[in-house]
Structure 1
């Protein structure tokens, strides 16, 4: 018989492997454009069912959702089940599920076409705590404060009660096929079912950066998991690994480091790539990984980075992300699963104006599925591309509400 720790690792490994292929029905997402979107405020500025409470967003509110909907739970007279869907809503949900399956299948084929190494039967290897985590860019002075702000429950002897597990999921041959996993949970005297939250770090960071969040959620009874994205953390060797991988993707088309392809669809991509290209608002996103675009500019014989250079790079390193896989098409497919999106109202990488179409489409999808209360978009005034204390609190409340 496997020891309890090995059993837990194997179970989680299976769950993550399935997540890489299919989006589970119970998916719950709270994502930040700054910290959870490689892809997500105060309550007074929130949107429910897809309207924005910012100056720009007032237009969206009047256009797509004139009045906020009250959250209600009803019992269907026929079945007696809470919130039973009407036939029309069932049909809409079925159509959405079919469309989602088709898009995921197409996306998966694109991802697999860029794998350097062959997939292998899933294996689990024991790991150990990382003593010196690798960060590929210096951390901002206020970033740690934000991470430490997550609400937590006072637990007696918390450090002694906290269980930490480190292991690797082997999904394919090669160095990028070893997915490092950090798991934190409380050691309960009596085993019981608990919700699991998988956290994804932002560019240039690693899973250890998320530890304050993991500990806070663990104190409240969650099982918390963080992984290193490709070419980050334990899957990186130096401070240029991520940028080098992006350059390789451009030169050779042999990888897609810009995409969370290890756990596909655990987080939606809310960036509006096509809108940014059509409206000449791509500069901030490009500047975040500028060495890649400078190399492409030279290869294309250009004197400066222009729209043509940017278009060709996206087509090479992330095919379809500015077309069939862009936010207006992928975001509505998450309905009717609970979805919270957090963004800075002044975010230059994810401009609010570029989010109008995906947000309105998502709001419509949630409305048609009878689950408008399960979708919320929050644009925090005066905030750029960053995660804030308010965002951390909103995400925390969202998980507590639905899990």
Structure 2
């Protein structure tokens, strides 16, 4: 009689990523703490028909001993009159599935509020943070750009992806202490940069049970080899321009791109690239949503990744837990159908009791989800 399926290759990748995350940490004792909390308040969004009242909380999570170790957290959930305090009455609060929402470059947790409110109105605990050097964690408008250049120069930080992944592991630690969150039902959804954070956080933390990276998954090494890196580089051009000057070149080329990735995100173009890390998420439900015409995330570069991942999920006995969809005619943009697919996927795996509901999430009118 066979035992439970184990993703041995995935465990090795996970352990390797954890070593990289640990390597640049200014650790705390205890390893995390809630160091600030604003008052909770109840409200209703009038543009959500028949929606229940919602409750908003804001708190600060301390994840390491440095300026960027202070993580602003936004929580939106249904406001139940008879529900006890989520942090103090562990025996009585109603446990709900939670979804962590992660924003794109240049945005903040507040950009995710429309999606969060729609999920919360449907019974989820919706959670968001500002990624490193974004939102409340940005001392100035150029904070993220400066952090990337500094990471190239010193190698002391990993602000592009891995430092925020560290914060997300601590956020999951915190959610496990909340009486209103079912620790077995924590999903994660990210858009663009947030999708990369989602992808790598899921590799690093098996407690994230359902994963939906949107317009994020790409093969960095393939892009370098096949001269398809230009669109991705243009999303954060200044760090590559700084490297060009430092390396004495007159233009950014594939060598510079590879050097920057190795410096600011060690392993990104080789051992932690998509063909190794996407299969590492198995057997957990993983839905990858891309645009067919997205030059930042070229679909052609994912052929090997998708083939390997499909085989791994089949070997785990859950081929239905892996799905890739590239929307025709869509470039690097979030679409209504992507949010619909993400909603259905989350419900199927976190709230199977409500599968078939027509009340799925869509882009709100007037939203600023342009990228």
Q: TM-score, normalised by structure 1?
A: 0.68
Residue 164 of structure 1, aligned match among 26, 32, 56: 56
In the alignment, which of 222, 234, 255 is matched to residue 287 of structure 1?
Answer: 234
Equivalence for 1:173: 65
CA distance in 2, matches of 1:257, 1:211: 23
C-alpha displacement of 1:153: 6.7
> Structure 2 matches for 1:350-361, cutoff 5 A?
350-361=297-308
Matched, 1:362 2:343: no
Residue 324 of structure 1 is matched in structure 2 by 271
Q: CA RMSD of the aligned region, Å? A: 2.0
Secondary structure at the aligned position of 1:198 is classed as strand
CA contact (8 A) 2:102 2:128 kept: yes
Q: Which has the larger radius of gyration?
A: 1
Q: Which has the higher contact order (CA 8 A, sep 6+)?
A: 1
Correspondences of 1:127-146 after superposition (within 5 Å): 127-128=37-38
Contact 1:153 1:216 in 2 (8 A): no
**2:101 matched to which residue of 1?**
199
Q: 1:124 aligns with which of 10, 31, 34?
A: 34
Provide the secondary structure at the position in 2 that maps to 1:173. coil
| Deviation of the 1:238 alpha carbon | 1.2
CA deviation digits over 1:7-41, x for unaligned, max 9? Answer: xxxxxxxxxxxxxxxxxxxxxxxxxxxxxxxxxxx
1:153 touches 1:220 (CA, 8 Å); kept in 2? no
Q: Is the 8 A contact 1:120 1:173 kept in 2?
A: no
Deviation at 1:112, TM superposition (A): 2.4
Partner of 1:222 in structure 2?
124
Residue 225 of structure 1 deviates from its aligned partner by 0.3
Residues 207-241 of structure 1, C-alpha deviation per residue, up to 9 Å, x if partnerless? 01100011000000000100111111111111110
* Counterpart residue number, 1:57: none
- Distance, in Å, in 1 between the alignment partners of 2:333 and 2:77 is 27
Answer yes or no: is 1:274 the counterpart of 2:231: no
Instruction: Tell me whether 1:186 sits opposite 2:78 in the alignment.
Output: yes
Aligned equivalents of 1:274 and 1:308: distance in 2? 11
Matches within 5 A, 1:75-90: 87=2, 90=3
Say if 2:50 is the partner of 1:154. Answer: yes
SS at match of 2:17: helix
Question: What TM-score, normalized to structure 2?
Answer: 0.74
Q: Which segments of 5 or more consecutive residues in structure 1 lack a partner in the other structure?
A: 1-85, 130-147
Give a deviation string over 1:351-391, Cα, whole Å, max 9, x none. Answer: 01001111111111111111111111110001111111110
1:314 aligns to 2:261 (yes or no):
yes
- For 2:27 and 2:311, the matched residues in 1 are separated by 40
Other structure's SS at 1:362 match: helix
Q: Could you list the per-position Cα deviations for residues 305-338 of structure 1 after superposition, in whole angstroms to 9, with x for gaps in the alignment?
A: 0111111111100110111111101111111111
Cα separation, 1, equivalents of 2:292 and 2:50: 34
